[in-house]
Structure formats: C-alpha cells, structure tokens
Amino acid sequence: MRYTQSEQAYKEAYEVIPGGVDSPVRAFNAVEGTPPFIERGEGAYLYDIDGNRYIDYVQSWGPLIFGHCDADIEAAVIETAKKGLSFGAPTTLETALAEEIVSLFESIDKVRFVNSGTEAVMSAIRLARGYTGRDDIVKFEGCYHGHSDSLLVQAGSGAATFGAPSSPGVPADLSKHTLLARYNDIESVKSCFEASEGGIACVIIEPIAGNMGLVPADESFLKALRELCDTYGAILIFDEVMSGFRASLKGAQGITTVVPDMVTLGKVIGAGMPVGAFGGRKEIMAHLSPEGPVYQAGTLSGNPVAMAAGLASLKKLKANPSIYVELSEKAKRLVQGLQKAAEAAEVSMVTEVRGSMFGFFFSDKPVKNFDDAKANDQALFAKFHRGMLDRGVYLACSSFETGFISTAITDAMIDETIKAAYETMGEIRS
Ligand code: KE4
C-alpha cells in the first residue's frame, strides 16, 4: 500500500486543525502510521486518496449498519434535502422517527433529538439531576459517554470513589460530583451510593461497553444495579449510543431483561448524519423544557435531512430483524478466524460478539472490566492493526474500540480478512 497522498494531506491538515483531525481517535496515535484520508465509501469498502481499498469494519464508528451509500438512505436524504436543509421549526419527520424509537424501546415513552451522543448524554444527566434534585452521578471506569465535563472524569486518588478531571479544563468542583465504579462490580457501586452525601441522581452505564473494547455487562450485575437504583431512588441510564440498533433491534434491551429509566441513543439513528437522542419514562421527560423546567435546546436538533436518514435506516431494520442473526453469525465467524490466526502464531486472543458488534483482545484471560482491558497487549494490537491495514482491512484504530459488521460485508470478505490475519500474525511473529 502507498500512503503518500494521505501523508501529504495529514501535513496540510495539521497546519489548520489541531492534531490534523476533528476527533482525536482518528489521528492513529494508538496504532502505527499515518491515518488514510478517505476519498469515498461504497458498500463494504472505503477508498482512500491514494486509491487504496479497504474492507470497512469501523463504519464511521457504528452508524453505517447498511454500509456506505445505501441506496434507500441516500434517496431519502436527497429527496428531503431538495425541500430544504433546515427550518428551526417542527417537522413530521421528527415525530415519525420518535414514534419508531418509542415503539421499539419499552423504557422510552418520549424522546428528544439532539446532534450527537455527547449532547444526548449531557442532556440526560442534566435532566436526571433536575428530576431528582441531586448533584452526584455514578459512571464506570472504561465507559465513554462523550466529552461533556461531568463525564470526562477518572477515578480519584486512593480508594476514593470521587472523580477527578480526566482532562484539563474540567473544574474539579464539577468532577467531584461524578463517582467512579468498576464495571461488573456491584460492591463498587454500593460504595458510591454510601459515599455520596447528597444522594445519587443517576447511574449511567454502557450496558454493552464498546469503549474499552467490547465488554458486555453480566446480566446479574445489571439486575443488581437496577435494584440498587430502585432502593436509592436513582435514575438508571443505559447509554446505548453505540449498542442501540447494533446489539439487536432494541440494542442491549433486546438482550437483557433489565429496563432502565432513561436511554441515550446515536449513531445508527442518524445513519451517518449527526443525530443523538435521549428518552425515558414520561414522568421524567415531562421535566424537560418547554414542558418542564430543565432547559435543553439546539438549532439543528431534529434536522429534517438527518431525521430522514435515520428513519430510512430504522425502517429497513424493522422490516428485516433477521439482519441481526446474519450479522452476528458473520461477526462470530470473523472473530473465530482471528483467534485461530493468533493461536497459529502462538498468541493468545479473547473475543466477544454482541449482535453486529465484535471485539478482540490480545490477552489470555477474560476481560470483565477496564483493568482487564488495559492488560491486553496494546503494542501487539498496534502492529496487527497496521499489518491488516496494509492488506486492505480497516479495523478500529485502538484496542479500546469495537468493530462492526455491516450488511454489505460478504462471507468472501470475511474469508479475505481471516487470510490477512494469518499473514499479519505470521509477519509479526517472524
Ligand atoms: P458522539 O458525541 O461521538 O456522537 O457520541 C459520544 C458517545 C456516547 N456514548 C457512547 C457509548 C459512545 O460510544 C460515544 C462515541 N463513541 C466513539 C467511538 N468509541 C466515537 C468516536 C470518536 O470519538 O471519534
């Protein structure tokens, strides 16, 4: 593979955009080499500006479950855009997409659209705090919920469960209201509830974590979390920005029996256009402006072109829910092949699949939380990522991300990917 055009493009981008990218992970800092600059996508493939073609297992970090340039979604976008891009006024497209979401999620009576997952989570946290009158919240190490201040928090010093800023610019006076617990560890959550003086407004969790690699929550843990929130009157928020419409037609809620009080969504519901959403029980959502006192707003919230894209995507998914069986079978075959390729090179690999989501760690033990995830061989992952890229396979550029199968990915492409994995592992270990 030649990357000369991308290398030049990166230099030029770096002059005018911090780090040359508009989102940090795209800089390839966790792996090797320069990020390819993408010219276009088509079906399962990405094409970069050097003319290289890749099988795309990232799909814009999840939104493109039908691959690139899906004809139905493209037609909906073009048809809607011809009527105008934005009005700042209500449209029936928002109602239609809201009705689709409400019809699928038992936990959602009403939903509000925003422009990103970050905005959805930030707004849901504010609503939970406004509804309960409490300031403290609980999140889990290794879960990512976007970059709003209350969520850019890492575990505090010592045994303290109180959060400390994970980024400069986040006031300690704010992050102290975010308590940190360990994923799949209910005792650590109990410690947070006991440590909070003013009470916990909400617990937010990725019920299928996709931002420390793919690490699903144990069903028993989610049940215990539900009970704990009920005991203390705290709101349980499932952040399904990634798992929504990816783990199943109902996200993690199509797999677990636990029902949250609020849900955040994104990615697939915009089909590649900027859309986030937060919803929940009507008595909670009634506190949101203009019905209630908790303020939240957005110029482009519910943008009609974005709504049309999301609606086209959801309608296709609802019309053919067996898609998830097919995508999951492909995901399982892929990770089994990757694992065999690793073992052929005498390297340990553990894998995970949930619906169309897949993950793998270069590790010899199960990954149940962020500490386990951090123990994976990240240097080996970086080499593997580069070797696969050089063989036309575009994997997530961090071992703390999740891979995705789209309907455009064929069995032949899975075979090609597994072959590339054997070659790459052989090369690395030679
Ligand atoms: P956005 O603000 O990036 O639309 O959504 C934030 C977010 C919230 N919740 C979950 C569970 C998420 O996975 C995300 C964003 N996911 C990352 C991928 N791990 C987006 C990629 C990026 O940051 O560039």
Dump pLDDT digits (tens) for 59-78.
999 999 999 999 999 999 99
- Which residue type, as a one-letter code, is found at position 139? K
Encoding tokens for residue 50? 């050097």
Q: Does the annotation count 239 as an active-site position? A: yes
In a domain, 148, yes or no: yes
Cross-strand bridge partners of residue 339: none
**CA-266 nearest atom, ligand 1:** 4
| Distance between CA atoms of residues 99 and 410, nearest Å | 32
Q: What is the pLDDT of residues 167-210, one digit of tens each?
A: 999 999 999 999 999 999 999 999 999 999 999 999 999 999 99
pLDDT of 32 > 80? The answer is: yes
Q: Is the CB of 210 under 6 A from ligand 1?
A: yes
Q: Name the nearest CA neighbour of 244 among 355, 154, 133.
A: 355
Residues 258 and 315 in one domain: yes
Question: Could you tell me the sign of the dihedral formed by the alpha carbons of 285, 290, 292, 296, in that order?
Answer: positive
- Residue 164 is predicted with a pLDDT of 87
**Could you tell me the residue range of the domain that residue 332 belongs to?**
4-57+322-429
Residues 15 and 82 in one domain: no
In a domain, 64, yes or no: no
Which CATH number covers residue 254? Answer: 3.40.640.10
The continuous run of DSSP H or E covering 331 comes out as: helix 323-344
In a domain, 62, yes or no: no
In a domain, 335, yes or no: yes
Contact 274, 61 (CB under 8 A): no
Q: Is the peptide bond before 165 cis (omega within 30 degrees of 0)?
A: no
Please tell me the number of Cα atoms within 13 Å of 148 on its side-chain side. 15
- Residue 152 is predicted with a pLDDT of 94
Residues 48 and 30 in one domain: yes
Q: How far is the CA of 23 from the centre of ligand 1 (A)?
A: 10
**Contacts of 198 by beta carbon, 8 Å cutoff, 6+ apart:** 134, 135, 136
pLDDT of 158 > 70? The answer is: no
**CA-209 nearest atom, ligand 1:** 11
Q: How far is the CA of 311 from the centre of ligand 1 (A)?
A: 20
| Distance between CA atoms of residues 381 and 30, nearest Å | 9
What confidence tier does 254 reach under pLDDT thresholds 50, 70, 90? very high
**Contacts of 199 by beta carbon, 8 Å cutoff, 6+ apart:** 132, 134, 136, 232, 233, 234
Phi, psi of 383 (to 5 degrees): -65, -40
Q: Is the CB of 146 under 6 A from ligand 1?
A: yes
**CA-121 nearest atom, ligand 1:** 8
From atom 17 of ligand 1, which residue's Cα is the shortest distance away? 61
Which CATH number covers residue 51? Answer: 3.90.1150.10
Residues 225 and 147 in one domain: yes
In a domain, 246, yes or no: yes
pTM: 0.98
Phi, psi of 117 (to 5 degrees): -65, -40
Q: What is the pLDDT of residues 106-135, one digit of tens each?
A: 999 999 999 999 999 999 999 999 999 999
In a domain, 63, yes or no: no
Q: Does the annotation count 364 as an active-site position? A: no
What confidence tier does 157 reach under pLDDT thresholds 50, 70, 90? low
| Distance between CA atoms of residues 248 and 106, nearest Å | 14
Q: How far is the CA of 343 from the centre of ligand 1 (A)?
A: 32
pLDDT of 159 > 90? The answer is: no
Pairing between strand 403-404 and 110-114? unpaired
- Residue 430 is predicted with a pLDDT of 84
Mutation test of ligand 1: which of 22, 57, 59, 145 has the most ligand atoms closer than 8 Å to its C-beta? 145
pLDDT of 137 > 80? The answer is: yes
Q: What is the pLDDT of residues 271-311, one digit of tens each?
A: 999 999 999 999 999 999 999 999 999 999 999 999 999 99
- Residue 41 is predicted with a pLDDT of 98
In a domain, 346, yes or no: yes
- Residue 120 is predicted with a pLDDT of 98
What confidence tier does 429 reach under pLDDT thresholds 50, 70, 90? confident
**Contacts of 14 by beta carbon, 8 Å cutoff, 6+ apart:** 20
Q: What is the DSSP string of 114-162?
A: ESSHHHHHHHHHHHHHHHHT--EEEEETT----S-GGGSEEE-STT--B
Looking at the 3D structure of the chain, how many domains does it have? 2
Q: Is the CB of 22 under 6 A from ligand 1?
A: no
Q: How far is the CA of 422 from the centre of ligand 1 (A)?
A: 31
- Burial class from Cβ neighbours inside 10 Å (0-12, 13-18, 19+) for residue 329 reads middle
- The residue to which tokens 């959801």 are assigned: 314
Mutation test of ligand 1: which of 61, 119, 245, 246 has the most ligand atoms closer than 8 Å to its C-beta? 61
Residues 111 and 223 in one domain: yes
Q: What is the pLDDT of residues 255-276, one digit of tens each?
A: 999 999 999 999 999 999 999 9
What confidence tier does 244 reach under pLDDT thresholds 50, 70, 90? very high
| Residue 32: Cβ within 10 Å count | 14
Q: Does the annotation count 267 as an active-site position? A: yes
